[in-house]
Amino acid sequence: MARPRVLITRRWPGEVERQLAERFDVTFNESDEPLGQAELAAAMGEYDVVCPVVPDKLPAAVIEGGERAKLIANYGVGFEHIDIEAAKAKGIAVTNTPGVLTDATADLALTLILMAARRAGEGEREVRAGRWTGWGPTHLLGASLRGKTLGLVGFGRIGIATARRAFHGFGMKIAYYGRRETLPDVARELDARFYPDLGELLAASDVVSLHTPGGAETANLIDAQALAAMKPGGYLINTARGGVVDHAALAEALRSGQLAGAGLDVFPQEPKIPEELLGLENVVLLPHLGSATRETRVAMGERALANVVAWAEGHPLPDRVA
């Protein structure tokens, strides 16, 4: 019996690729260059399973490109780049890789908070450019975190993990906005205050960290009005999705001094960076490193692999989203 054909659209850690090759007729993207829409559409007619990554776009036009694919096993937790309704209409199952990214992404959120508040990006650029003239009492003064309020927009697994690091590690106060209040034991542990109104949370927070899903519901959630509601001299951190922030409005808030700084790991049209941000010193720009640890990327691959194996063996999919 022929083994199912599987397409891996970008290179995965070697140990996971070897496991895939042992079980399936697998095609790897040897160049590791992003596939175009035509190539992805063709894959839907050539492979039983397509394993995309978050930057791959799978709209209806791609999903309707062929009749063979029965599973889209996404390498990543977010799946707003996949037209779920189109997949359902074609009878194609969709899975993701939840849970395994939590610690790595929370670590990076704290990295961005520290880099923005302590002006680490500015200092590193100054040293490399040979502009540092030596220690001085008022040189690159930043902000301390202890006693400051961290406001989390979205309080799921990653938001809570970020809050734990900030509360236990840096002595920050915790506030959050979300669809509902968190579990009582989490609220007690973190002495976390729930804000049912986003504007009130923004006004109460010294640092705002975004942890919401992407998609139409949260598009430009942090717009000019939201930025104006933030504390003057505050910081905005985004490890969620680039589309959650209006970057033109953010650039203006950074230029005007309404915000002291920002730290961004995600952007609306990656790898393109909004032009208005590139010339600003008080924003940290990272190339979507949230899950970029070897341990996490291996775990993501193993999670995706488990879904492919379950599909091939006719078992329930452990991480089915459609």
Indicate which residues carry an active-site annotation. Answer: 241, 270, 288
CB-based contacts of 25, cutoff 8 Å, min separation 6? 2, 3, 4, 5, 6
How far apart CA 193 and CA 67 sit, in angstroms, is 50
| DSSP bridge pairs for 176 | 152, 194
Cα angle: 168, vertex 190, 151; to 5 degrees: 95
CB 82 within 8 A of CB 53: no
How far apart CA 188 and CA 285 sit, in angstroms, is 34
Residue type for 16, please? Answer: V
CB 31 within 8 A of CB 10: no
- Measuring CA to CA, how many Å separate 166 from each of 146, 226, 234, 277? 9, 23, 16, 26
Count of residues in the chain: 322
CB 3 within 8 A of CB 309: no
CB 133 within 8 A of CB 101: no
- Measured from the Cβ of residue 62, the count of other Cβ atoms closer than 10 Å reads 25
Cα angle: 205, vertex 162, 127; to 5 degrees: 85
Q: What is the largest CA-CA distance in the chain?
A: 74
Helix (H, G, I), strand (E, B) or coil at 180: coil
Provide the H-helix boundaries in 165-317. Answer: 170, 184-190, 198-204, 224-229, 247-256, 275-278, 294-312
